[in-house]
Amino acid sequence: MKKGDHLFLVDGSGYIFRAYHALPPLTRKSDGLPVGAVSGFCNMLWKLVSEARDTSVGVTPTHFAVIFDHSSKTFRNELYPEYKANRSAPPEDLVPQFAVIREATRAFDLPCIEMEGFEADDLIATYARLAREAGADVTVISSDKDLMQLVGPQVSMYDSMKDRQIGVPEVIEKWGVPPEKMIDLQALTGDSVDNVPGIPGIGPKTAAQLIEQFGDLDTLLERAGEIKQNKRRENIVEFADKARISRELVRLRDDVEVSEKLGELVLNPLNGPKLVAFLKGMEFTSLTRRVADATDTDASAVDAADVAVDAAAEMRGPDLDPGDAANAAVTATGQNDDTPQGLAKRRAAEAGSAKIDTTAYETLSDIEQLKAWCAMARETGVVAFDTETTSLDAMQAELVGFSLAVPEAAPDTGELKVRACYAPLAHSNGVGDLLGGGGLQPGQMPVRAALDELKALLEEPAVLKIGQNLKYDMLVMAQHNIEIKSFDDTMLLSYVLDAGQGGHGMDALSERWLGHKTIGYKDVTGSGKSAIPFAQVAIDKATAYAAEDAEVTLRLWHALKVRLVSEGMTSVYERLERPLAPVLMRMEQRGIRVDRQILSRLSGELAQGAAALEAEIQELAGENFNVGSPKQLGEILFDKMSLPGGSKTKTGQWSTSAQALEDLAAAGHELPRKIVDWRQLTKLKSTYTDALPGFINPETKRVHTSFAMAATTTGRLSSSDPNIQNIPVRTAEGRKIRTAFVAEPGNVLISADYSQIELRVLAHVANIPQLTQAFADGVDIHAMTASEMFGVPIEGMPSEVRRRAKAINFGIIYGISAFGLANQLSIERSEAGDYIRKYFERFPGIKDYMDATKAEAKENGYVTTIFGRRAHYPEIRSSNPQVRAFNERAAINAPIQGSAADIIRRAMVRMEPALEAAGMQARMLLQVHDELIFETAEADADKIIPVIVEVMENAAMPAIDMAVPLQVDARAAKNWDQAH
DNA sequence: CCTATCTCTTA
DNA sequence: GTAAGAGATAGGT
């Protein structure tokens, strides 16, 4: 920085409060996030930076920074513990805006500066001094009197709200003393807001007069005896010390060791699209337009930005206790409490307020009734929707009926009133004869006409559809060419808010939040052998069951949706959960081709191999027994044959785990080896080659897995019916199963997987320089670890050394214990402990990360991914050491596993639009935690792979700029084994 | 017929 | 040591 340069320093914290109080209260984004202060702040910044570029205005900044207070604790508290002690907490609807405002600053591409232990004013003073010494001019954007001591020939202030320049004459005019005497003046007057004592009875006028008379504070205190007024003289003598302390409190530190140097504050050209994206995300329409115009940005071509994830972290309010919340009466403060927390509390009470009456539902028997309900839903703009079908398998399910629920417009009684109905469409008579299930039950409307009405409602973007696990209903409706536009999903809401706090199924949520036990599916259909299809349930019973589900769903939404804002989870829900549902729906709908012949052939081979082994096993055992029974096997091995080294499971049975059998085999016994081999073959046969063909859909001839979005605590998906996330890959035998997952003729499968994503996430979150460097250099990460730990050069490293380092790396991710590592490596626990100590010595950041994560989990009851997702561990404070240790390990693992899960979710949400934008015909079929499988025409594969890789490698951006690059390997082939 | 236990598969 | 789902057996209802 040099002479002629001009530094603008914005007092960000001061500005936040002014913007907050200047603007109408409770300006909210459509999702309820309060944004009044953010809006005021953005308008002010925009005014500053746009005028700054207007050279017709006299002052043009070359450098710019926005300075914030870091926290309420500063060095001043050590000088004087009462400093700012009477400050009340900021208003609750302002709290979530602090982080958003920092995000806003970054969206303007401006340095956003704060430092622990110092106030914004100290940083401003420091930068002002540095700039002054470099010969530059400074303008402090603030009207705070605390900063006026900085004013001088090169430094002025600017009150942007009053559009007023504050220089030396203005300070003298206002306070009666020049800027350099402001410290003494404030020392005398004190400050009731900041709890700076000063001297009683002395206000600004008297103080100015005294300073005028004596020159400065020290002289005044020395010669206080000369003051004529008795009371004033006594006070000055008595409170001289208080004045001296006050002087130190108001004197700004201009020697802070600032992290950003002056040169880094250079004002860069504005990034139009980046700022427009942010403003659009905040729904500031007129400012968005102004900025777009001024920067020549096409606002319609810019996607609204990710809501700041850092914001989410700071937005957490007091966690609601779900059990209490359900029964909580509206508290005295809750009644008029317009904070997000107050609203959430009220809504929870309202949702569970009314007794649910399952006899009060309407059954819709003709199309006019349905039309009336659709009109009602359009009126309210919100409708809960649920389908009833013939099957849990959405791909084979036939629609039997559907239910709707709407909130009733009612004055603010503190109760939620709901109307619900059921529209039966295909209920048949149970009197099934050999020709089929009998005729239709009476009182049902024509299906065709009903679906037309329903389609118009579900596809109407202005009506919010609410469902519980809507992915299922989407899949069912997709069979009828109906898309559900504009929706919320109570299961996903619960998952985002309460992952780890229990199940997210409707029955569990209803009990937890509404204190209501729903009618069970089995209560209407019966169970086991006497179960009847839902289509044969009597319509009145079906109405009670189905409409209740819609009512409960609507009530749950009422209670849960508002918690997104009060708990700072909006961005997780809106970016990582809700948009993924339709993506997964389409993946499930597409399915993947599985070659029946290949499986059948494999099954035969496996059967032969297993039979041969079984015969040898019986021979060696000397008797016929059930080889698949661990109980019988344990008795043969350890009781009958008396092999040594047997251990017991927790139920007292002999353990026959693969590890135990391997140990026996290593000791030279023949039988255990054969058991291990037999188990591998029978496992592959029963779980894969025999079971998979049963999942081939007769219509599509493909296998359609079901992805569960709310099954894990960490944010991973799970897969079932069949589980395609545990198809064998480690052994050559097992990999043969993968050759049966094939592309259609003329197509290929593409497999794209993240390389070492969890270790990369670890390097990022724990900030480990060696790991970061190794990934940047692209070196073998396990070899690097081994080299650091054991001092072995990477070149020519023995594979055993690398293997151990690899196990330790994984162990770290899993929240390592000496016990676990010892088991994994088959070494002594003491030796494993030595390894761990060594690791922590070489990578001390890892230990810090683990300790900090444990502490965070204990403090909050949850841990957080880099995108703000929370995983709760309510048992982490357990007095049982085993339970506690387990929860600690899980809590250490969750941010790593969960962040990786978030990254691939982001990639999946962006993938389809990206492929489309690139003009690519490729269909995403499967997700296996760090891998995505696509199918595409063979000729297109080479063009598509770079698009896929690009989306996956940049999936964390722009929310998180990772310290480590993400690497994706992708390959195309005819089957999954070759593509992987 | 349902549930718990054990084992094994994946990332 | 983390996170899942599933099959076979065994034992209760």
Could you report the per-residue pLDDT of A285-310, keeping only the tens digit for each? 889 989 998 888 888 888 887 654 44
CB of A331 lies under 7 Å from some atom of strand B: no
For domain A609-703, the CATH architecture is: Up-down Bundle (1.20)
Question: Residue A6 and residue A49: Cα distance in Å, rounded?
Answer: 13
Q: What percent of chain A has pLDDT over 70?
A: 94
Could you report the per-residue pLDDT of A721-752, keeping only the tens digit for each? 999 999 999 999 999 999 999 999 999 999 99
Question: Residue A751 and residue A735: Cα distance in Å, rounded?
Answer: 15
Confidence of residue A325 (pLDDT cuts 50, 70, 90): very low
Q: What is the predicted pLDDT for the residue at A323?
A: 32
Nucleotide minimizing C1' to CA distance for residue A528: B1
pLDDT at residue A18 above 90? Answer: no
Q: Where are the domains of chain A?
A: 6-265, 272-305, 322-578, 609-703, 778-894
Could you report the per-residue pLDDT of A659-671, keeping only the tens digit for each? 889 889 989 999 9
Q: What is the predicted pLDDT for the residue at A321?
A: 33
* CA–C1' A657–B8 (A): 9
Nucleotide minimizing C1' to CA distance for residue A729: B10
pLDDT at residue A411 above 90? Answer: no
Q: What average pLDDT score do residues A908-937 get?
A: 96
Where helices occur in A591-724 by DSSP H, the ranges are 596-621, 630-634, 658-666, 670-683
Nucleotide minimizing C1' to CA distance for residue A728: B9
Buried/exposed code over A601-614 (b: 16+ C-beta within 10 A; e: otherwise): ebbeebeebbeebb
Q: What is the predicted pLDDT for the residue at A58?
A: 62
Q: What average pLDDT score do residues A318-341 get?
A: 45
**Residue closest to sugar C1' of B9 by CA:** A726
Query: Which one has a higher pLDDT value, A25 or A540?
Result: A540
pTM of the shown model: 0.72
Pick the CATH number of A6-265 from 3.40.50.10190, 3.30.70.2860, 3.30.2350.10, 3.40.50.1010: 3.40.50.1010
Phi (first) and psi of residue A922, to 5 degrees? -140, 140
Could you report the per-residue pLDDT of A618-633, keeping only the tens digit for each? 999 998 899 998 889 9
Nucleotides of C under 7 A from a protein CB: 1-11
> Hey, is A707 helix, strand or coil?
strand
> In the predicted model, what is the mean pLDDT of chain A?
89
Q: What is the predicted pLDDT for the residue at A886?
A: 92
* CA–C1' A715–C2 (A): 13
Q: What is the predicted pLDDT for the residue at A174?
A: 82
pLDDT at residue A17 above 90? Answer: no
Could you report the per-residue pLDDT of A674-692, keeping only the tens digit for each? 999 999 999 999 999 999 9
Residues 853-892 of A with CB under 7 A from strand C: 886, 889-890
Query: Which one has a higher pLDDT value, A613 or A234?
Result: A613
Query: Which one has a higher pLDDT value, A235 or A975?
Result: A975
**Residue closest to sugar C1' of B1 by CA:** A528
Confidence of residue A328 (pLDDT cuts 50, 70, 90): very low
Residues 642-681 of A with CB under 7 A from strand B: 649-651, 653, 655-658, 660-661, 676, 679-680
CB of A931 lies under 7 Å from some atom of strand B: yes
* CA–C1' A870–C11 (A): 40
Question: Residue A194 and residue A917: Cα distance in Å, rounded?
Answer: 56
pLDDT at residue A57 above 60? Answer: no
Give, for A889, the enclosing helix (H) or strand (E).
helix A881-917
Q: Angle between the A799-813 and A881-917 helix axes, to the nearest 10 degrees?
A: 100
CATH 3.30.830.10 fits A778-894, yes or no: no
State the Cα angle at A921 between A917 and A927, rounded to 5°: 95
Q: What is the predicted pLDDT for the residue at A980?
A: 94
pLDDT at residue A329 above 60? Answer: no
Q: What average pLDDT score do residues A107-136 get?
A: 93
Residues 179-218 of A with CB under 7 A from strand C: none
CB of A630 lies under 7 Å from some atom of strand B: yes
CATH 3.30.420.10 fits A322-578, yes or no: yes
Q: What is the largest CA-CA distance in chain A?
A: 118
* DSSP notation for A115-151: -TBS-HHHHHHHHHHHHHHTT-EEEEE---GGGGGG-
Could you report the per-residue pLDDT of A780-819, keeping only the tens digit for each? 999 999 999 999 999 999 999 999 999 999 999 999 999 9
| A543 close to A365: Cβ distance less than 8 angstroms | no
Q: What is the predicted pLDDT for the residue at A310?
A: 42
